[in-house]
Amino acid sequence: MSIVFSDNNHPVRGKVKYDYNLDNCGQINLITSVKESDGTYSQLKLTLLSNGALAKVQYFKQNSSADGNYFAPHLQPEKSFQIADFKYEKAGGRLSFSFSGKVYKNNEQERVLTGKVDLHTIKYAPCEALILDVMTVKPAFNFFSMYSSSTKSTVNPDRSDQYNYYTYVAHSNSGQFISLKLESDISKLVGKEIDFDDTNPLYSVKYWEYTGLFMLEESYGSLDQNWKRFQTRGKFTSIQKVSDERYNKPYYKGIIVMDILDEGRLVKESVELPFYMSSMD
């Protein structure tokens, strides 16, 4: 089976009722369901990004004294759950890693899960829905996106001075949120270098970090008082059109180079955020 694991030091073994794996749009999804000899049913779902960063952990138990749904913290799974020894050979489909950590139910009950994955072949499906993917590579600052959306808006739609602007947003796996605003579609920006800061109404990068308590319910709603906004300044650069196996049609990639400030105090300098996005035109 895809995942071999223990629950509170109890090896979960029995008849495998469901076993699933898929690499799609930069996310590796693994699901294993097991029915033990005493009737206990357990299902573990793990979602990782292609670099081994953890995106989601869901655990379900039935027919036991600990029934219910358990989760690692939403948007911050690595606060309670760790991945180790991650190896992924995409060309051959070989995937292996070990894991350990806690999952929670209603912020009260918890389970300790440990285990490993060792797959010789993982299924792969070409990405059909790339929106915005941000994946840093330098350890000085991490942002690994796991959910994104985009909006094309028209200002003054019934007037001669109407114009469009393009917004892309993404949540990371470490309680971060980023919003990009572009005056032109990304397809019109190839080869250009564009400056931004908080006073620029045409191009901007807005950045938040989550500061609240663990969230166990999956939600991508509006940002509230638990999200801290930082100021940014920098540039979009190295924008180019790309056609490869990452996405089923041409897309665009570039780099955001920016400073992050907290009420005028420099927190991070010249962080680099490689990004990949699709056109909205």
Say if residue 166 is in the same domain as residue 87. no
pLDDT number for residue 112: 98
Asked if 113 and 181 sit in the same domain, the reply is: no
33 and 111 share a domain?
yes
Both 30 and 82 in a single domain?
A: yes
The SS3 call for residue 260 is: strand
Domain ends where: 96, 125, 154? 125
Domain boundary among 125, 143, 169: 125
Segment 24-47 mean pLDDT: 96
| Domain count for the chain | 2
213 and 151 within one domain: yes
Owning domain of residue 241: 132-277
Residues 103 and 171 placed together within one structural domain of the fold? no
Q: Is residue 220 scored above 70 in pLDDT?
A: no
Least confident of 19-28, 42-51, 187-196, 243-252: 243-252
Residue with tokens 């950590």: 101
User: What is d(CA 195, CA 30) in angstroms, rounded to the nearest whole number?
Assistant: 41
pLDDT at 181: 96
Average pLDDT over residues 226-247: 92
**Of the candidates 105, 125, 145, which is a domain's last residue?**
125
In this structure, the chain runs to a length of 281
Of the candidates 12, 4, 2, 66, the one whose C-alpha atom is nearest the C-alpha of residue 37 is 12
269 and 245 co-located in one domain: yes
Residues 190 and 164 in one domain: yes
Q: What is the pLDDT of residue 221?
A: 67
Which residues touch 20 (CB under 8 Å, ≥6 apart)?
2, 29, 30, 31, 32
Is 45 in contact with 31 (CB distance < 8 Å)? yes
Q: List the beta bridge partners of residue 77.
A: none
